[in-house]
Amino acid sequence: GAGVSQSPRYKVAKRGQDVALRCDPISGHVSLFWYQQALGQGPEFLTYFQNEAQLDKSGLPSDRFFAERPEGSVSTLKIQRTQQEDSAVYLCASSSGTGETGELFFGEGSRLTVL
Amino acid sequence: EDQVTQSPEALRLQEGESSSLNCSYTVSGLRGLFWYRQDPGKGPEFLFTLYSAGEEKEKERLKATLTKKESFLHITAPKPEDSATYLCAVPPPSSGYALNFGKGTSLLVTP
C-alpha cells in the first residue's frame, strides 16, 4: 500500500491481557515512530526506530510496553498485562529520513480499549 | 512543563469567516515548528514546517507564520472541508526527531 498501515484498527482487551499492535510503514522509510494519543489530547511520543535499531524508548510509560522492528520494516508494539489507563489510540508514523524535518506519515491508528 | 500550548481549544466558524489559530511554545533553540491536521478517526497529516521567525508557508486557504514565541495558522475564507483538529508540534531540546504536540484546536466550519 501507499501509506502506513496499522492493525488491528480496534482492539478490546480485558485488564491483564497482553496485546500486540502492528505497523507496516511506507516501503523504504528508514524511521519509524510510535505515539500514544488519549482522547482530546495531542499525540505523545513513545519510541523511535532507525532501521532495526531502537534509538529512543524514553516515552514508553512502563516496562509493560515493548516495541520491536527486527528487520527494519514492520514494527510491533506490545503491551503486557494491560491496564485501563492504557486505553488510547496508538499511532505509528514513518519517515524517509531521520524525521528531523517533522514530516511524518501517520497511520490511522489502533484504538485500544481496556475493560 | 508544557512546551506547546494551543488556543482556542475549539473554534466554530461560518463558511467564509476567516480566523487564526495560535500555538505558543516555550522551548529554547527552536529546531522547527510543525503543523498537522487530524480528521476524526485518522492519523495526523503533515501541513507545514517553519524554522525561523518571520517565515511563512501557504497551502490553499491556510497560511502559517512564526515569531520567536508563537505560530499562527491563518484560515482564509474557510470551507466545511477545513473542519478538523489542527495540531502544532516542536522537537524537545533533547531530541531532533521526537515531537511534542499541543492538544490541538478543534475547528468546525459550518455552511
Which tens digits make up the pLDDT trace of A66-81? 999 999 999 999 999 9
Residue A60, pLDDT > 70, answer yes
Strand partners, B7: B22
- The number of distinct structural domains making up chain B is 1
Q: How far apart are CA A64 and CA A17, in angstroms?
A: 11
Q: pLDDT at position B2, please?
A: 59
Give the DSSP letter of residue B82. Answer: G
Taking only the tens place, the pLDDT of each residue in B51-94 is: 999 999 999 999 999 998 999 999 999 999 999 999 999 988 77
Residue B1 pLDDT class (50, 70, 90 cuts): low
Instruction: Give, in words, the CATH class of A5-97.
Output: mainly beta
Select from A23, A39, A43 the least CA-distant residue to A87: A39
What CATH number corresponds to the domain at position B20? 2.60.40.10
Residue A102 and residue B41: Cβ atoms within 8 Å?
no
B78 touches chain A (CB under 8 A): no
Contacts of A109 in chain B (CB under 8 A): 42-43
Q: pLDDT at position B94, please?
A: 74
Contacts of B48 in chain A (CB under 8 A): none
Strands B56-59 and B70-75, sheet pairing: unpaired
Whole domain around residue B34: which residue ranges?
4-110
Residue A95 pLDDT class (50, 70, 90 cuts): very high
Contacts of B40 in chain A (CB under 8 A): none
Residue A102 pLDDT class (50, 70, 90 cuts): confident
Q: How far apart are CA B12 and CA B15, in angstroms?
A: 10
Residue A40 and residue B103: Cβ atoms within 8 Å?
yes
Residue A111 pLDDT class (50, 70, 90 cuts): very high
Q: Where are the domains of chain A?
A: 5-97
Residue A58, pLDDT > 80, answer yes
For an interface test with B, the pick among A100, A105, A110 (most B C-beta atoms closer than 10 Å) comes out as A100
Give the per-residue SS3 of B34-67: EEEEECCCCCCEEEEEECCCCCEEEECCEEEEEC
Give me the residue from B41, B99, B102 closest to A45, CB to CB: B99
Q: Which are the contacts of B91, defined by CB distance < 8 A and separation ≥ 6?
A: A100, A102, B27, B31, B32, B97, B98, B99, B100
Q: What is the mean pLDDT of residues A80-99?
A: 93
Q: How far apart are CA A74 and CA A22, in angstroms?
A: 7
Burial B28-38 (b: 16+ CB within 10 A, else e): eebebbbbbbb
- Could you please report the per-residue DSSP string of chain A? --S-EEE-SEEEE-TT--EEEEEE--TT--EEEEEEE-TTS--EEEEEEETTEEEE-TT--STTEEEE-TTSS-EEEEESS--GGG-EEEEEEEESSSSTT---EE---EEEEE-
Taking only the tens place, the pLDDT of each residue in B5-40 is: 999 999 999 999 999 999 999 877 788 899 999 999
Strands A19-24 and A44-50, sheet pairing: unpaired
Taking only the tens place, the pLDDT of each residue in A6-51 is: 999 999 999 999 999 999 999 999 999 999 999 999 999 999 999 9
Q: pLDDT at position B96, please?
A: 66
Residue A98 pLDDT class (50, 70, 90 cuts): confident
Angle at A20 between CA B43 and CA A58, to 5 degrees: 70
- Cα-Cα-Cα-Cα dihedral of B37, B39, B40, B42, to 10°? -90
